[in-house]
Structure 1
Amino acid sequence: MNMKIGVFDSGIGGLTILKELKKIMPNESYIYYADSKNNPFGEKSNEELMTITTNIVDFLISQNVKIIVIACNTATTRCLKNLKILYPNMIFIGTVPAIKVACDKNCKNTLVMATPATIKSERTHELIKDNRKKGQKITLIPCKGLANVIERKDKEKIDKLLTKYLNKYKNKNIDSIVLGCTHYSHIKKEIKSIIKDAKLFDGNKGVANETKRQLEIHNLLNNSNEKGSTKIIYNK
């Protein structure tokens, strides 16, 4: 199979998922679409975001992809359902906050950092309802503007926003933090510098494993022993 794996996000965030995909499927070829021009997705209306994501999907399909990984929590929670209806012949893999992982690890006091849109989404609240066990506390933190300053690599503003959102939890016995936006995986060290003892969970490995599983189910894995190619497109 010479078809590619398509991956997209509102910029550099999903590169962390691309890295995990390449670890477990190095022989596959990838095309990554970084839509920095429309970052942050979380501040777009549902209609605007559907237009943006359908344009990206149309482009990726034109590039001969066999599966599309939505490497963005916001786009997944707000658009995945409709994209599956619009493109019934395409396999989509979404990204959601790793709330289940934190709950399964029996974490007692968890923070979920995500964009305001992901925090508000029905899917996030379903994940809490379906996975939280007795005695587990989950606090949602809408981190407005954080993904945008990470995209711009503005260290001063990153530090300022992290202080604003996390300082109040410093001495609250937080044992885990769910990174509910793929951009946040780029600033793990900065987050750990504020809340040192918390375990950090993102969905990157889970997304990569599910992508491989779906390719196996549909008999679409590339069985070549040669290393695949990677093409990254920035829409600035």
Structure 2
Amino acid sequence: MKIGFFDSGIGGLTVLHQAMQILPEEEFLFYADSEHVPFGEKTKEQIIRYTDEAVQFMLSKGVKAVVIACNTATSVAISFLRSRYKIPILGIEPAVKPAVEECAGKRIMVMATPVTVREEKLKNLIARVDSEHRVDLLPMPKLVRFAEAGNFRSPEVTAYLCSQLAKYDLRNYSSLVLGCTHFNFFKDTMQEIFPSSVDFLDGSEGTARHLADVLKQNDLLEHHPQTVEYYRSGCKITAPEELERIRRLHQRLERMRFIRRGAASDDCSELKSM
């Protein structure tokens, strides 16, 4: 039986990619709801409906567990899904807790979609772990559209990041928390902007490891040659050019997996001048 992964677009590949490293003998199904991407600009009711439809589709394919590999869908729909379905349903949340634990008195920046920033789930998480109010939330709606267009490194992307960050003194930060799975694709661009003192954190690896634990606890681990099926809004992806595009995205994620912190000068004057 397969493990289902769901996202509004390509962002969930970041979690799938980690799971493929940790669970090399499992079969996977990845569902991207590209008809409705980006979720960060949708209503709560729309997100719940789209996510529920995707879970029903994956259940029709016989999945044994589902990972909602989308921070926005997790924040809005995870409670509804868990109340409705019997199989294990895992979500992903921004890695705020480890960022706070490692902040050493400095500030923490959390980049996310507008919906994730507004939702009570993230606010409650921050309230639980950030007693000294060190977390700053930064909505970044355009990054999802850049990612879906395959635009990860360009003057346009750099200019957008710099414009959104211009009012912050990045030297005051210990961590950048990537609160949307799409944002992992931009680590090399972000590395050129953030000082070398800033660590990059996201929930993808932790979610994949939690998945492995849940499968073990429920006696759901299997041993098969690893396979992945990819679907776009209910249609299986079989075209060679589309599968090649996905292969290149995995290659990029493998490179991004090893970028853990910024590399720019600790002098932020260049950023402020952009």
Interval of TM-score (by shorter of Structure 1 and Structure 2) = over 0.9
Residues 177-192 of structure 1: matches in 2 within 5 Å?
177-192=176-191
2:36 is aligned to: 38
Q: Say if 1:103 and 1:133, in contact at 8 Å, map to a contact too.
A: no
Greater relative contact order (Cα < 8 A, sep 6+): 1
SS in 2 for 1:230: strand
Please name the residue that 1:29 is paired with. 27
Question: Given that residues 103 and 175 in structure 2 are in contact (C-alpha distance below 8 angstroms), is that contact kept between their aligned partners in structure 1?
Answer: no
Q: 2:6 aligns with which of 8, 18, 30?
A: 8
1:174 aligns with 2:152: no
| Separation in 2, partners of 1:45, 1:139 | 23
Q: Is the 8 A contact 1:8 1:32 kept in 2?
A: yes
Equivalent residue number for residue 75 of structure 2: 77
CA distance in 2, matches of 1:164, 1:153: 20
Q: SS of 1:13's equivalent? A: helix
Write the distance in 2 (CA, Å) between the matches of 1:170 and 1:230: 43
In structure 1, how many angstroms separate the alpha carbons of the residues matched to 2:68 and 2:52? Answer: 12
- Counting only pairs closer than 5 Å after superposition, residues 1-236 of structure 1 correspond to structure 2 as 3-87=1-85, 89-107=86-104, 108-134=106-132, 137-154=134-151, 155-197=154-196, 198-222=198-222, 224=223, 226-235=224-233
TM-score (norm 1): 0.92
Structure 2 gaps of 5+ residues are 236-274
Tell me, in whole angstroms, the C-alpha distance in 1 between the residues paired with 2:206 and 2:172: 27
- Deviation at 1:145? 2.1
Shift of 1:170: 4.4
Q: Secondary structure at the match of 1:90?
A: coil
**C-alpha offsets along residues 56-99 of structure 1, whole Å, 9 cap, x if unaligned?**
00110011100000000000000000111122x12100011110
Distance in 1 (alpha carbons) for counterparts of 2:13 and 2:141? 21
Please list the CA deviations of residues 74-127 of structure 1 after superposition, one character each: whole Å capped at 9, or x if unmatched. Answer: 00000000111122x121000111101101223521100000110111111111
For residue 166 of structure 2, give the secondary structure of its aligned residue in structure 1. helix
Shift of 1:39: 0.8
TM-score by length of 2: 0.80
Whether the 8 Å contact between 2:40 and 2:113 is mirrored in structure 1 is yes
| 1:45 Cα deviation from its structure 2 partner | 1.0
Q: Is the 8 A contact 2:103 2:174 kept in 1?
A: no
1:174 and 1:195 in contact (8 A); partners too: no
Q: Note the residue ranges of structure 1 that are not aligned, 5 or more in a row.
A: none
Tell me the number of residue pairs that the alignment of Structure 1 and Structure 2 aligns: 230
**CA distance in structure 2 between the aligned counterparts of 1:199 and 1:28, rounded to whole angstroms:** 31
Contact 2:94 2:179 in 1 (8 A): yes
Q: Which runs of 4+ in 1 moved over 6 A?
A: none
> What is the rounded CA distance, in whole Å, between the counterparts of 1:178 and 1:4 in structure 2?
30
